[in-house]
A and B are shown apart, each in its own frame.
Chain A
């Protein structure tokens, strides 16, 4: 096998890997979208139907007609917006102080900002922030 062919095959196998990964990450979402526009009969078939030619938007219409979707939606927006605003205000005030601390008391800052990140923030996001800072320091 010559080097060119080997390179092409290697590239093809790489793209197969990429496609598999994309399918792994994206398929559940695609399946959810397709299910949402299928008729009920196709959804509940023992032999799953990937694409139904009898697609409709009745399920979306039912959301608005038969449920209090808009109320739930407004509730979610209210909770998300107010929590975000409150977090930004509180975290910004504390952040300004930590910023000054980083100049005047770097030792205390380096010790406490880790604790602050872990305790005061949502743990996942705090960890991402911490990783980001760590990478920058590296």
Chain B
């Protein structure tokens, strides 16, 4: 474990944390080697101030953030105030026109926000239910538990493009295994990629792919719950459901809070799964969430300015969401 390790500070030049450990005085009669302080110090120039090392160590990370996060966001903001075609090397300043147009575009922007909300909340709720159930199961003692924990992480390890191909194959109306099995069980055939079901399909596929994230988070917390709490609840006559409700859930509350909000944010901005399964045209019309709409505006219609305005709106929505998240979390955790 890195934190708390006494070795790490001495890796730093001049051991500026090392001094933190050296304050302890050790008294002994055993003859000892001269300490570093007693040994004659070689003459050296001015010490480099400690905080300079901090700047130096942080510089690459800061440079990356500036170049790959901050600059694109600022440039996108700047572009959103311009009319800019992807292939033309100039742009015209139009103020808030791009924003006005997209806010008045009920069939485009607001519809994509609505579909994004359905996709985001729908898949998040299912992930939480499935992930929490799986974590509770994997927290029990049973034969093959280690293997099952590996299997549970399987979907998360499969690349998204593989998931998309695989699911399109399994759910294929003509020769997919799932429609065939459902048909034989008497459930009837469902057109998974029909206009009525395609949103359900992408929600289910996303749930399958990302629920292990919830398993990781909640299982780690479940393992740290004090077993005495359950013993005490049992003594009080609490059954399985009441133990879950009054012991497990309160203990999981903090982690679940973080997981739910993070997953909602991730799913609201999810592009790859939807794009790879439904694309943009045809059936993709029924799953045109905000990221897909933004992509199509920018790279399909080549309206970079309007696309930038859409991405800025998405960014602002996430900022508001993150602020609420941090506010609530701060209230809960006192960061």
Contact = CB atoms under 8 A, between A and B. Distances in A.
Verify that A and B bind, or say they do not: yes
Interface of A: 14-15, 17-18, 21-22, 24-26, 28-29, 31-32, 35, 43-48, 89-91, 93-97, 99-104, 110-111, 114, 116, 119-120, 123-124, 127-128, 130-132, 134-135, 138
Given A21-B137, A110-B335, A96 B180 contact: no
Nearest to A29: B154
B9 interface: yes
B20 A103 contact: yes
A22 B167 contact: no
Contact of B166 (A28, A48, A101, A130): A28
B178 to A, nearest CB: 9
B335 A99 contact: no
A128 B61 contact: no
Contacts of B162: 32
Contacts of A90: 60-61, 64
Contacts of B8: 96, 99
Interface residues of B, number: 54
Given A31-B170, A127-B213, 11 more contacts: A22-B151, A29-B154, A29-B158, A48-B180, A90-B61, A94-B57, A97-B57, A99-B9, A99-B17, A119-B65, A128-B216
A91 B61 contact: yes
Given A48-B176, A97-B54, A21 B60 contact: no
Contacts of B108: none
B175 interface: yes
Given A97-B58, A119-B69, A128-B217, A47 B255 contact: no
B255 A100 contact: no
Contacts of B174: 46
Nearest to B176: A48
Given A45-B175, A46-B175, A25 B57 contact: no
Nearest to A24: B208
Given A96-B8, A120-B64, A32 B166 contact: yes
B254 interface: yes
Interface of B: 2-3, 8-9, 11-12, 16-17, 20, 53-54, 57-58, 60-61, 64-65, 69, 134, 137, 140, 142, 144, 148, 151-152, 154-155, 158, 162-163, 166-167, 169-170, 174-177, 180, 208, 213, 216-217, 220-221, 224, 254-255, 258-259, 262, 266, 335
B175 A44 contact: yes
Contact of A48 (B175, B216, B259): B175
Contacts of A120: 61, 64-65
Contacts, number: 123
Given A31-B166, A46-B174, A48-B175, A94 B224 contact: no
Contacts of A31: 166, 169-170, 177
Contacts of A14: 137, 140, 142
A60 to B, nearest CB: 16
A25 B69 contact: no
A70 B219 CA distance: 39
A97 B53 CA distance: 8
11 contacts: A18-B142, A25-B154, A29-B158, A48-B175, A48-B180, A95-B2, A110-B335, A119-B65, A127-B258, A128-B213, A138-B254
Contacts of A29: 154, 158
Contacts of B69: 119
B133 to A, nearest CB: 8
Nearest to A128: B216
Contact of A93 (B58, B158, B169, B213): B58
B130 to A, nearest CB: 9
A45 B163 CA distance: 22
Contacts of B57: 93-94, 96-97
A52 B67 CA distance: 53
Nearest to A102: B3
